[in-house]
């Protein structure tokens, strides 16, 4: 039940996310991707992007970014 469509992320770098559990809709520069357990997505982190979990099920992912943002 989480969505950051109104405030997309836009830092510099590259990110790769891998779904561990659940489902997540990821939108990168206006293109949507529906990720499920085992799926991965790599993209230019500086493009506007946002995540949406429309279900009540937890969405668990591993994210790696370069350069590190925190």
Low-confidence ranges of the chain (pLDDT < 70): 8-11, 68-70
Task: Provide the pLDDT for residue 24.
Answer: 95
pLDDT of residue 47: 87
Angle in degrees, CA 4, 15, 37, rounded to 5 = 75
Pick the closest to residue 22 from 50, 49, 61 (CA basis). 61
Q: How far is CA 64 from the centre of its chain?
A: 11
């Amino acid at each position: 039940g989480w969505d950051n469509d109104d405030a997309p992320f836009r830092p510099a770098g590259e990110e790769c996310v891998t779904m561990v559990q659940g489902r997540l809709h990821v939108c990168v520069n206006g293109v949507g991707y529906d990720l499920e357990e085992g799926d991965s997505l790599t993209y230019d982190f500086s493009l506007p992007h946002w995540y949406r979990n429309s279900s009540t099920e937890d969405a668990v992912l591993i994210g790696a970014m370069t350069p590190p943002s925190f």
